[in-house]
Structure 1
Amino acid sequence: MHTPFDLSGKRAVVTGANTGLGQGVAVALAQAGAAIVAVGRSAMDETGELVRTAGVPFTEVRADLATLEPISRIVTEASASGRIDILVNNAGIIRRADSLDFTEEDWDAVMDVNLKSTFFLTQAVARTMLADGKGGKVINIASLLSFQGGIRIPSYTASKSGLAGLTRLLACEWAAKGINVNAIAPGYFVTNNTQALREDPKRSADILARIPAGHWGKPSELGGAAVFLAAPASDYVHGIVLPVDGGWLAR
């Protein structure tokens, strides 16, 4: 039975799908019926097993989005078995240091992955979505730092703020062409990126005390928002940045 949240017959590319939020999103899209093309720097065996358990095809594309070099290959390999209907830009890195000590190397590394490669991969995929007139869905993984400043992560905050703006710009350009561009802003989830925070007793306690839901998010708890933004249910939704944060921004 088809529902507004059914992704049967669709193909989704998810970057950074080897673990954490990317894995959670990939599995949720697979459970909704979408075939998954997982893009990442390292092996994605666990993600592949979880996706295949959902009964849909899984393709792995090994690529490092620190540069633009692999983008054309990603699109070619991802399209080999069918068109790309959904793109989830999840790959991202973070570097922590006081702003007075922050280096150009750490600035450039984060901006290259989180913003530059995201834009140019989206551009390349959008060209294929427009070529046959069928459009598609683009979901950017933004952050609470798209709304707030944070501390000791200047390039991450800049990149995620930029990604929110880029989401709105692309929505304005492509909505009438059949491409929905939206973003999800995760709160504090249990991932590799938050390991340092969770291992700092004071910071972890301070963060947890502010989350109305009372717990750090699990990657699986991001999946529903991704399914919504990938599915026909969101066909008239363009340019939003949807917080999935346990109520953090409401407090």
Structure 2
Amino acid sequence: MNLGLPIALWRGDIPPPKTAYKQTNIFLRHKDLQSICDCEDFHSQATTSRDYKHIIIFVGGLMDSYHHVVFREFAQFVNGSYQKLAHIPFCAKIYTTFDSKALFYACLPTLINAGYYPYIFAHSWGAANITKVLATLHLAPQSIPLLVTMDPVGYWRLKEKPQSIQKWVNIYIADKWQHITPPNICTYFGHAWNHCISADREIAVQNYHISTKSAKNQKIITHASIRTMLHYFNTSTEFSL
């Protein structure tokens, strides 16, 4: 089954990537835009009756508007891309920048009330923002099948899993402060969450390979290593969906 029209919700003050992925609709958000739900195309997709109503949502971190590490995952995702989700037929994929709390407050209830099941992958500050929304929205129990937080960062942190989330998987770089790189430094000042006691499953990623003889040819796994974190998610044998 093919995915429906991809939708990317972009910060109004920063242009989307020049590549722009022609099959993707880019909605530039402006200060005067109350809600993306005002967009007729999005609303029609969210309420159209389908036999399968699974949606995958990617939420970028603070710098994703510039570096596009999460956006690339969104753009390249097709059904079957992730081993853990290969059995789930997604009808749509959505990308948002980190500063989309107002959007989710407005649209998540609409999607869920229309019978859709959001699977959310969120990175860094975007992860902190979406979890804050989920903690304060009064959604139906277990209406969010999956929340995956990827090295979340933020002064506010989720201390208790909301009833609306069926499964919360938290992935974090356990030794990031032992490897001084710009992305890792940002997590120090941004207040990295690291271990989350309320998560159903945690995956602590470490740079064990750096101590080997071939370390010179190996890249350091950092806060920005989205593809690596997703690899650990997909290959973990300690949980299933």
Give the TM-score range, shorter chain.
0.3 to 0.5
Q: Given the two structures, how large is their TM-score scaled by the length of structure 1?
A: 0.41
Work out which structure has the larger RCO, using CA pairs closer than 8 Å and 6 or more positions apart in sequence.
Answer: 1
